[in-house]
Every structure is written in structure tokens, then in C-alpha cells.
Structure 1
Amino acid sequence: MTRLVSDAGDRAVTRIRPAAWLMAAVALFLLAVAGYALLVHAYPQYYWRQIDTAVYRDGGVAVRHQPAMLYALRLGPAKLPFIYTPFAALLMAAGSGASFAAWQAGLAVLTIGLLPMVTYLCLGLAGRPAGLARAAASFVIAAVGLWLEPVAMTLFFGQINLVLLALVVGDLALPNRFKGKGIGIGLAAGIKLTPLIFIPYLLCTRRARAAAVGALTFAVTVGLGFALLPHASAVFWHEQFTELGSRHFHLTNQSLNGVILRLTHAGPGAHAYWQVAAVVVGTAGLATAILASRRGHELLGLVVCGATGLLVSPISWSHHYVFVVPALVLAAYGPQRLGYRILSAALVVGLFGWWPLPIGSQGGYDPTARLLPRGLLLLSPNEGNNGTLEFTWRGLELIAGNYYVLTLLAFISATACALALSKNPGGAGEARTHDRQITSLRQRSG
């Protein structure tokens, strides 16, 4: 009898501890959100502009009233073009009747709310079993992730990057036997073309049905665009798409194309150089991601594939780098040794953190400027989209102004080398192995 009471007490303590950790983790996440809300309230002119949200809403209005002019109009207070697909415009037209304030609040709440969900799914891909402990870890990582520059800038511009990331991660987290696997990636690619890279990734990792479903879903989005917005679709696929990225040499375009445009001062040979670099890096990066997945490192494959897509895209603004959230999960739970985990997580946060810095009006460090969260990228002189200071960079400015791209190149190269030198090329996936271990332990404990 005493033994039974003791066992029952141990099980109760085991249940209470994860619950307590989860409560503490949720409190930490809410504290991070509250800190962000206070910052926005104190400095709305710096952190609550959301000019891209205005483009989304106005693009939806244009679809309803001037569909043929969708890609000719300049939208929102910043007078920006609509650069997403016609299918994306159709989706935005569905909500364009709501007020801009409703769009602002709704998209901010959705972005922040998706953070714990994305981290929870990524932890599953890293091999962590479902439960309260995994949920607690997801809220802790989400609290940190909120204060990474790509996530903060997604909120600042009112972007949909976390929505697209959630579609991709959620799709890859589905069991391979699920017949609808691939739909999320197809939808994400139908809204913005960059996630298309995950279709060959699925195909080459022996998930042909999911790749076919993703490709079919994407094709349906294209077909809907031509059926409902024929003129706009013709403009997007025949004119806009061919010109995309040809002039975006500014600092925050952290793609290979952006780097080459800056190094060549947007010279006539820049496009050809980018095409060669994109083919080489794209092939090597995708091959590395495929190898990682086949070795059972599913989260590593996801991060490498996402990083490759960012590099080869003609435009990858710094806020597109939300794959840093899965990278943070990978850093915190990938290495076997605790010391390596701490070091890896610190490296991700150090490089991509939304650090408070005194930044001048033309970028660069200015000790007289107000100390506010900006991120390390802005330490390089720049004038946003209004100047050509990027062409004057020398020495360390070249490294600081391109370090997002340099970081991804180093990461992919290091991953490829580690996989090539690995002595354990086979084996089942991390998640399946871990789940079997947990099941075995539960059976032994009765």
C-alpha cells in the first residue's frame, strides 16, 4: 500500500512540474508581448507604421474596384506597388472591407499568436515528444523570438511572414501518410513565390505525393488568378516577375541579388552574376537540406531549405528572415551537449537580436542618437530606399551590411561539411526515435 501511495505521489509531482513550467513560460511570453506593446505605445512613429498592411488592404480594394490596375497603382501612404501574386490579392480582397485599424490589430495579434505554434511544431520536428514540457519550451522560445529583428520588423511593417512560415512548418510537421500534406506549402507559394523551393525538397526527400499535392495546390492558385484577374495575372507573370529585384540594392535586401547589386553598384552585369550565384548556391543549399532530411534531421533540413530560398530570391528583406525562429529552436534543441546548445542559441540571438542601438538618420552608429531597438544591420550607413550610400561601403561596412547573407552562407557550408564528415549516415528520424524511447519508458513504468 505504501508503495502504491508513493508511486501515485511521484506521478502527481511529475504532472505538476510540467504544468508549473508551462505557466511560468506563458507568463514570460506575455511579459515579452507586454514589453513590445509598451514600446509601441511609447514610440508609435518608430514601431507602428505598418505600411505593408496598408498595401495589402488597398490592394484588396483595388481588386474590387480597379482589378486591371492592380500592379500599376501605388498603394498606401508610402505609395508602394503591390508585388504579391494575383491569388494573394484575391485573398486580401476578401477582408478589404474592414478598417485599416482592424487590419493592423488583426495582423499583429495573428503574428504574435503564431509564434508559440510555430515553435511548438518545430520542437516536434526536432524530436521532442508532445506534452506540457514541449509547450512550455515553445512559449519560452517564442518570448525570445518576438525580440529578434526579423520578427520585430514583420510587426513593424505589418507583414505576413509569420503566416507563410506557419503554413510551411505546419505542412512539414504533418505525418507523411496524411493525404493533404503539401497543401500548406502550395498555398504559401501561391501567395508568395519563395516557398516554392520546398516542393523539390519534398520530392527529393521521398515525399513525392506531398510534393505533387503542393505543386497542384500552387497550380490551382495560379489558375484562380487567371480566371478571376486575367489582366493582372498577365502583368504579374509576364512583366512584373521578370523585373523583380533589378533595382533593389538597398541594405535591407539581404539576398545574393542584393549583395551583388551593392558590390557592382547595380552595373549591367549584376543580373547575370546573380543568376550564376543563385544556381550554384541554390543547388548546393537544396542538396544540403535534402541530405539533412534523409539523415533524420528534419528541422535542420527545414532551416537549410528556408535559408537557401532566402539567398536565391531576388528580394529578401530582413523581415523575410523569420526562418530565424526555427533556427533558434534548432540551436536550442539540436546539439546533444548542453554547452553547444547554449552557445548556438546565443549566437542566433546575438546575430539576429533586435538590440537597442543609437542609429543616425542615415544609418551607422551615432552616439548622439536616441537609444532604441534597431538591430545590428543598421550599423551600416544607408538612407533606406532614398539614396546610394551602400555604394560607398568599405572594409567592415561591407561585412556588416551583408552579414545576414554571409551568416546563411556560413551556416549552409558548415552544415554540408558536418553532414559529409558524419559517421552515421543512416538511421531513423529524430522524432520517431525519440517517440519510441518515450513509449518504451512509459511501458516499463507501468
Structure 2
Amino acid sequence: MSLSTIETTVVPSAPERRTVPAVAFWTIFVLGAVAGGYYVEQALATPAMFTHLMDLSVYQIAGHRVADGVSIYDTPLLGHTRGVWEFVYTPFAALLFVPLIDLHGEPYTWVGMLGNFAMLTASAWAALSMLGYRRDRRLVLLGLPIAGLLLWCEPVRETMAFGQINIFLLLLVLADMALPDSSRWKGVLTGIAAGIKLTPAFFVIYLLVTRRYRAAATATGAFAATVLIGLAAMPKDSLTFWSGAFADPTRVGVPENPSNESLRGMLARTVGVAGNHQLLWLAGAFAIAAICLCLARRLSLTGHELPAVVLCGLTTTAVSPYSWVHHWVWLAPLLIYLADLAFRRRGIAAPLGLLLALAVASGGVFALLGSAFSSTINYPSDKTFGLLIHNAYIWLTLALFTTAAIQSRRLRTQAVEPSRMR
């Protein structure tokens, strides 16, 4: 039997949307209120740790440079050291930062924090919608306590503290993928996300391999529009960026930096940066991307859209030349998916998977054990188990690949058996 026949067999009809049970709603509501309240208490007590908004301040400097007609790529935005505080986003992204130049004092802090929290809430709503829950008032309200719980996911917490753009990009892609395939607007938000930071362009390939050609074309068109807008408003900087600055990882920093939580960072810290390091990283990144697309295609074709999209999001971060901890915000919808799975399925496999992901995404359990290492990335990579612990995000992603492959094989077997009986 051909692959196309199997795919046709296993694609389910659109199920009726579920309603969040009352017990689950109130449990999440209480837990989210406690978690969110504790986060606010900590943020007010130690603003230098929770609300310093350093990256948002750098975005503000980029907005000032655009308004003043000064290049954003020729020199670092702060200081004079290459690879430190250099602008690494597109000219279109810099245009989006111009409105920040009028924000100062407390309004600046509140906009930075509440803006990210609102987008985190909307991202949770989009993820739940992709899981098949009814888009009613209860689901809208549930997004708030879920966001409160996700504040303790380390990449989310770091994004909030730095005032980073990652949650915004997460929301754009999730909201786009939550649209029905029949929507003529599907692909627009993904194209805009790629026009701000290039890594979401991977989702255009995902749309292609899942045969959503119109959405892929729409995303490509939206991306092209952002390039043209940037070119029209900032021709010199656009030429600098697209002629090579976008492909220069040294603008971010050295690959062996302990904070580089990507495959390249892991390899650089393990085998060094000399010799065939670059070739090894490219081969590994290509292999991971290819495997991800195969698995995500199978998940999508069998009606598991959210895990397919999450797998792609984690892959973009894993294969990127440089990934800070706050780039791993795709762990947030992963936790939502695993929590839903643990709630609906019997057995211990799903709850154990959720606990493992929670241990990694929260930064580890070291602080709870009285250790000086409050995060997995603080664990020395040259110590015992350092290769495993320090690179926990990479290993978690590869573990998800294995799980997805096993599930894909099970679904294929279930599809073949009824076909043989006919």
C-alpha cells in the first residue's frame, strides 16, 4: 500500500470541539492565580532580576537610530564590542521599534511587562484552540491562569525580564497555524514573523511539506512585503543586512558561550570550534531539520497539529547558530500540550513526560535541592553529566523526536491493519 493511501486513511474527520471541564478549569484557575501572584510578588521585590527590560531598552535605541537616520548595523547599539549588543533583526523589525522611543519611566515598564503577558495569554488561547477546545468565554478566561503558570517556564521568565520579542513571534505563528486551512489569510502572520526574525521562515517549509501550498505562498508574499517595506524606509541598512549581515553569527557572540543553547553551542563547548566544527554543525542541523519535517508532516496529517507546530518551533531554536535561553519559548505550548495529554490519557507515560519537560523548562530542580545552580545552563558543561544537564533543551527536543517517531509508527500500524482487512 502506498504512502499516499496510508495518509488518506489516517486523516481523521474534524472532531466536535471539546469544552474545558469545570473541575479542570477551577483547578487551573487557582494554580495559575497562585503562580502568577507569587511571580508579581517576586518581580516587585527584585525588579533588577525580573523587570530590568535590558533588551527592550536596546530595541528602543534601535528605534531612536531609525528615527535619527543612523545605521543600526554599522556599530553595536551599546558599547563598541563586536558580538555584544549588535542589532541582529531585520530592518522591518527596527521600524516596529520606533514607537518605543516615546515610552519612559513606569509606563515603559508596564507596557513591556503587561504587553508580553497579554501575548502569552493569547498564545495559550491559540494553543488550546489547536487542541480542539471550544472557543468560548471559558477558554478565553483560562488563558490568564495558564499564562500565570507559564511565567515559571524559564524561557518565558527570561523573555519577560529582558523585554524580548520571542513571545510576540510565538503568538504570530501559533495564531496563524490555528487558522483553518481554508482561510485566505493563513500564512500572513507567519510571513510577518519571518520578516522580523528569520527563523520562523522554517514554518513556510512546514506548510509546503504538509501540502498547504496557498498558505506557504501567502507567507512568502507577506515576508517579501516586509523586505520591501524595510528597503523603502531604510535602503542602506537593508543592503547591509541582506548582503551578508543576516548570515553572520559573530554579530551575536562566540558559539561556545555557555548561554548559547543551540546545537552549535553544544558542539562548540564539547569538541571546540577548530577544524570541522562548522561542517559538523551544518550536517547535524540539516539532519535535525529534515527529521523534524518528516515527523511534523506525519503528526499534522493525523490531526495532531499543535505537537507538529511545537516540534518545528523547537527545531528552529535547536538548529539556529545562536540561541539564548529566552529563544526557547516554544517550551510553553509544549507544556500545554503535555498537560492536556496527561489529563486525558490513562497510564503514567504522559504524566512522566510532563514532569520531565517541567523539570527542564523550569530551569531544573537544582535550586529546590539547595544547589548553587539555579538553572541548567549554569551547570558547568565540563563537569560530570555536564554534557547532558547543560544542554537539556537540546536533549529534550531529541527525546520528543523519538516519542513522535514511535507515535507515528503506531498510527501507521493502526491505519494499515484495517486496510488489509478490506
Q: When the two structures are superposed, what TM-score results if normalisation uses the length of structure 1?
A: 0.80
Structure index of larger Rg? 1
Please give the residue correspondences for 1:159-170 in structure 2 after superposition, counting only pairs within 5 Å. Answer: 159-170=164-175
- Helix, strand or coil at the partner of 1:250: coil
Q: When the two structures are superposed, what TM-score results if normalisation uses the length of structure 2?
A: 0.84
* Cα distance between partner residues in 2 of 1:321 and 1:121: 18
2:209 aligned to which of 185, 199, 204: 204
Letter in 1 for 2:376: L
* Cα distance between partner residues in 2 of 1:318 and 1:257: 14
CA RMSD of aligned residues (A): 2.8
Match of 1:401?
390
> Do structure 1's residue 247 and structure 2's residue 254 form an aligned pair?
yes
The CA deviation at 1:35 is: 1.4
> Do structure 1's residue 412 and structure 2's residue 421 form an aligned pair?
no
* Cα distance between partner residues in 1 of 2:93 and 2:28: 35
- Helix, strand or coil at the partner of 1:74: coil
> Do structure 1's residue 332 and structure 2's residue 321 form an aligned pair?
no
The CA deviation at 1:135 is: 4.3
How many residues align? The count is: 391
* Cα distance between partner residues in 2 of 1:337 and 1:22: 17
The CA deviation at 1:71 is: 4.2
- Measured against aligned partners, the alpha-carbon deviations of 1:237-279 in whole angstroms (never above 9, x if no partner) come to 2232222157232222111111111123222422221111111
* Cα distance between partner residues in 2 of 1:216 and 1:248: 33
The CA deviation at 1:75 is: 2.7
Please give the residue correspondences for 1:40-59 in structure 2 after superposition, counting only pairs within 5 Å. Answer: 40-59=43-62
Match of 1:346?
355
The CA deviation at 1:196 is: 0.6
* Cα distance between partner residues in 2 of 1:358 and 1:351: 13
Higher relative contact order (CA 8 A, sep 6+): 2
* Cα distance between partner residues in 1 of 2:415 and 2:237: 48
The CA deviation at 1:334 is: 3.1
Please give the residue correspondences for 1:301-316 in structure 2 after superposition, counting only pairs within 5 Å. Answer: 301-316=308-323
The CA deviation at 1:188 is: 0.8
Letter in 1 for 2:289: G
Which stretches in structure 2 are left out of the alignment for 5+ residues? Answer: 1-18, 417-422
Instruction: Check the 8 A contact 1:114/1:166 in 2, yes or no.
Output: yes
- Measured against aligned partners, the alpha-carbon deviations of 1:120-162 in whole angstroms (never above 9, x if no partner) come to 2211211222335544654443232111101111112111111
Match of 1:64?
67
* Cα distance between partner residues in 1 of 2:407 and 2:323: 27
Distance 1:416 1:219, change over 3 A: same
Match of 1:319?
326
> Do structure 1's residue 259 and structure 2's residue 266 form an aligned pair?
yes
2:243 aligned to which of 234, 238, 242: 238
The CA deviation at 1:354 is: 4.6
The CA deviation at 1:207 is: 1.4
Match of 1:149?
154
Instruction: Check the 8 A contact 1:288/1:415 in 2, yes or no.
Output: yes
- Helix, strand or coil at the partner of 2:102: coil
Letter in 2 for 1:416: A
2:128 aligned to which of 123, 137, 158: 123
1:97 aligned to which of 99, 102, 125: 102
Match of 1:377?
377
Letter in 2 for 1:337: R
- Measured against aligned partners, the alpha-carbon deviations of 1:395-429 in whole angstroms (never above 9, x if no partner) come to 31121111111111121122123202322349xxx
- Helix, strand or coil at the partner of 2:71: helix
Aligned-residue sequence identity (percent) comes to: 31
Distance 1:132 1:226, change over 3 A: closer
* Cα distance between partner residues in 1 of 2:222 and 2:111: 26
Which stretches in structure 1 are left out of the alignment for 5+ residues? Answer: 1-14, 360-364, 382-389, 427-446
Letter in 2 for 1:332: A
Q: Which moved more, 1:348-357 or 1:278-287?
A: 348-357
Instruction: Check the 8 A contact 1:354/1:375 in 2, yes or no.
Output: yes
* Cα distance between partner residues in 2 of 1:64 and 1:76: 20
Instruction: Check the 8 A contact 1:53/1:104 in 2, yes or no.
Output: no
Instruction: Check the 8 A contact 1:21/1:133 in 2, yes or no.
Output: no
1:424 aligned to which of 414, 417, 421: 414
The CA deviation at 1:173 is: 0.6
Letter in 1 for 2:375: G
- Measured against aligned partners, the alpha-carbon deviations of 1:273-329 in whole angstroms (never above 9, x if no partner) come to 111111111111111111110111111111111111111111121111111111011
- Helix, strand or coil at the partner of 1:315: coil
